[in-house]
Structure 1
Amino acid sequence: MTIRNKDLEQQALKDSLGAAMKSGDENAIAMALSTFAEGVQQNVMDEFKTYQQTADVSILAKRGVHQLTAEENKFYQSIITAMKSSDPRQAFTTLPAAYPETIIDNVMADIKETHPLLAAINFTNTTILTKMIINKQGAQLAIWGAINSAITEELSGAIGTIDLTLCKLSAFMPISKDMLLVGPAWIDAYVRNILSEAIAAATEEAIVNGTGLSMPIGMNRSVADDVVVTGGVYPLKTKMVVSNLGPVTLGAIAAKLAQAPNNKQRPVAEILMLVNPIDYFTRVYPNTTIRALDGTYNYNVLPYPTLIIQSTAVTVGTAIFGLAAEYFMGIGAGSNGGKIEFSDEFKFLEDQRVYLTKMFGNGRALDDNAFILADITEMTAAVLEVAVNNVVKTKEQTA
């Protein structure tokens, strides 16, 4: 008898979803989303049946089943009623309600709990917004005096906007007839799981590599005011060669990040470093792991506060250094979106129907100096200098 390892199965589905998002193939993304959703649905149904038999409240916490607000309960009840209809397509056209904002808040919380990059940046629920005003010149000093033409001209280039309706993310959700019997709270857990993984997979890829064409602008792209955008695509940044993570190198990186727009400066309290898992273990880990006098090892030890995050979205051989708070990413249901719709784009089993939901958002670095694209192909194991009787000797950090 074969024993299922649900955690491994779920991780494999997440990996497939992430790979599909990175490929950019719309059909592959849709199929990976649907396959992932089927796996989530099966797990929810299994846990619901176990809960019915055992009344074990720990199952609720594990699955993330919440006590719904009155608005959330009403929303899901209307969705369930429409799904049970003999003509769900028609039933859904009469549903005016989009996701309550609290559902999107819960999705964002779920994402931040499991995805460190999205927890580190300025990741915001923008459900009720269409545009976000940003300061393009870093720290802006207040000006005393009369509002005259000179001041107006000085401030005219300081304000920018991010259109939050330009980028659309679609998620497919197959729902079986049995699923409709579990109730709103379990449907909510299913929907949030699908949305959180779909948003996280697509958003992380876009935050790192997005071209700006119908998607966010990635950290690896130049957003300078004079940058040449060709066909809606922003160019890649010029790579900075980083061969080690010593004080001089990190100091140079921090100094570059401290250069805010308009010849201003800003403090750098912590550096964000994004790196592919392969590079982390072959290049970064040997550079940041030291052996203590008691024989134990300490890892991620750097001469300046640095948050190292592994991300498969980062290309092997490169890394991104930056200021996490200077990347804005807004996502939400949108003023005209957030509805769950009947979809016949994919046909599966007879006892389940496929539904589609659309989210809107956008993201970009708030200025061009906030992130550095680095070439780390020359990075090797660090060498420590040790003074013995006033004579400087060297030894491998990993020795």
Structure 2
Amino acid sequence: MKNLDKVKQEQEKFRQKLAETVKEGDEEAVAQAFGEFAQGVQESILAEAQEMMQCTDTTVLASRGVRQLTGEETKYYQKAIEAMRSSNPKQALTDMDVVMPKTVIDAVFDDLTDKHPLLDAIGFQNTSGMIEMLVNTGTKQLATWSPLTAEIVKELTGGFKKVNMGLNKLSAFIPVAKAMLDLGPAWLDRYVRTILQEALYLGLEEAIVNGTGKDQPIGMNRQVGDGVTVTGGVYPEKATVPLNSLDPVTYGTLLSGMTITPNGHYRTVESVVMIVNPNDYLTKIMPATTVRTADGTYTRDVFPFPTTVIQSVQVPENRAIIGLADRYFMGVGTGKSGKIEYSDEYHFLEDERVYLVKLYGHGEPLDNNAFVYADISGLKPVVQEVVVNEVKGTVKTKEQA
């Protein structure tokens, strides 16, 4: 378990350092931080592999994060190891007659959604090899009892749109030490998945929340739909809506706008997500949604409407994104070639080679009413008023927002 703990510590250090370098906009610093993370993961996996080398129990290996590979995955990694060991890896990888199996990316996605609730909540899909994807922009389409006319056909087809999966590219560098190649396909798979998971997490959550739409997905805090003015590929931010109380009337009024579809019809809203900065959660949302029960204990995240709170460092302070998670579409996958490429652009460590995985995809809110960008700077905490019933001698509490 020591090595697993070390991996987690390295990942956390990586996230903190990488977040700082990303804010500074220094690409070289980002690359260096990523290289340091990769080195830490390599050392942990190598040490763990040496301890487990004699173990053939798949259950024990699985508990350490080592998957039992499919035949297609084993063949792919064996071919990749041979190419990476060659004297001319660039040519060898180009000549590879196998591509990264979709199941590898699926495994990465499973790990991501397990650990990052925002990615688990949205419409997150593996679109490997797809150029375009047809998505429903109106939640549901109704059959109509009337003569078949062009207007009906136009209305039905208007509820769908094509999303170009090749619009944006997310590149992940994978520095592979030669010692990693000696461990075999299963351990190389674990290493590749760990690196891809962190690279995807870094790129995805920021884009899902704040993406401008220019060479990246469109964020939840952006305006979309007909009539939106896009300047230089950048979609404008939504205007913030003040949210100073979470009482039923105020909160219900805020959410009511989500019941209108882009074509003007009504839809049922059964639950929403609220995405906030961790600091704002503790200083604003938690005080506003925590009540004391009759037995003296506290219950938190009490909303007048079903709401799942998700903490994300990508959300600016004093802001919250509230909306319909399934109305955000995010598709990511490898390109049609599905190949790892050799790159000599970065050299982080001695005695290793650097490879590049290109992932293509796009994400955007499916309609402009699906998300609200709220200003929670004035959000008031719950105040419980104690009322003494002199007739019965009982004490009651009344919540006030």
Equivalent residue, structure 2, for 1:36: 37
Equivalent residue, structure 1, for 2:380: 380
Deviation at 1:23, TM superposition (A): 5.3
Q: Are the counterparts in 1 of residues 258 and 370 from structure 2 also a CA contact under 8 Å?
A: yes
Distance 1:25 1:315 in 2: 20
**Superposed CA offset, 1:272-310 (max 9, x none):** 000000100010111111222333221111121100000
Moved more, 25-34 or 347-356: 25-34
Deviation at 1:147, TM superposition (A): 3.9
Map 1:25-64; keep pairs closer than 5 Å: 25-52=26-53, 60-64=61-65
Distance 2:179 2:28 in 1: 27
| TM-score scaled by length of structure 2 | 0.91
Q: Which runs of 5+ in 1 are unaligned?
A: none
Deviation at 1:212, TM superposition (A): 0.5
Does 2:371 align with 1:371? Answer: yes
Q: Call closer, same or farther: CA 1:101–1:5 in 2, change over 3 Å.
A: closer
Distance 1:121 1:240 in 2: 22
Distance 1:388 1:205 in 2: 50
- The one-letter code matched in structure 1 to 2:213 is G
Distance 1:24 1:157 in 2: 40
Equivalent residue, structure 1, for 2:359: 359
Q: Are the counterparts in 1 of residues 141 and 156 from structure 2 also a CA contact under 8 Å?
A: no
Equivalent residue, structure 2, for 1:237: 238
Aligned residue for 1:186, secondary structure, equals helix
Equivalent residue, structure 1, for 2:197: 196
Aligned residue for 2:363, secondary structure, equals strand
Aligned residue for 2:98, secondary structure, equals coil
Moved more, 297-306 or 119-128: 297-306
**Superposed CA offset, 1:1-24 (max 9, x none):** xx9961323311133334445555
Equivalent residue, structure 2, for 1:78: 79
Deviation at 1:40, TM superposition (A): 1.5
Q: Are the counterparts in 2 of residues 274 and 319 from structure 1 also a CA contact under 8 Å?
A: yes
Q: Are the counterparts in 2 of residues 21 and 202 from structure 1 also a CA contact under 8 Å?
A: no
Map 1:116-127; keep pairs closer than 5 Å: 116-127=117-128
Q: Are the counterparts in 1 of residues 4 and 64 from structure 2 also a CA contact under 8 Å?
A: no
Distance 1:155 1:53 in 2: 60
Does 2:267 align with 1:254? Answer: no
Distance 1:247 1:76 in 2: 55
- The one-letter code matched in structure 2 to 1:150 is E
Map 1:113-152; keep pairs closer than 5 Å: 113-152=114-153
Does 2:217 align with 1:211? Answer: no
Aligned residue for 1:165, secondary structure, equals coil
Q: Are the counterparts in 2 of residues 288 and 302 from structure 1 also a CA contact under 8 Å?
A: yes
Aligned residue for 1:264, secondary structure, equals coil
Deviation at 1:244, TM superposition (A): 1.9
- The one-letter code matched in structure 2 to 1:75 is Y
Equivalent residue, structure 1, for 2:300: 299
Equivalent residue, structure 2, for 1:174: 175
Q: Call closer, same or farther: CA 1:262–1:388 in 2, change over 3 Å.
A: farther
Deviation at 1:92, TM superposition (A): 1.4
Moved more, 253-262 or 15-24: 15-24
- The one-letter code matched in structure 1 to 2:373 is L
Sequence identity (%) = 48
Deviation at 1:101, TM superposition (A): 0.8
Instruction: Give the number of equivalent residue pairs.
Output: 394
Q: Which runs of 5+ in 2 are unaligned?
A: none
| TM-score scaled by length of structure 1 | 0.92
Q: Call closer, same or farther: CA 1:169–1:286 in 2, change over 3 Å.
A: same
Deviation at 1:153, TM superposition (A): 3.9
Distance 2:176 2:200 in 1: 19
Distance 2:314 2:53 in 1: 40
User: For the aligned residues, what is the CA RMSD?
Assistant: 2.4
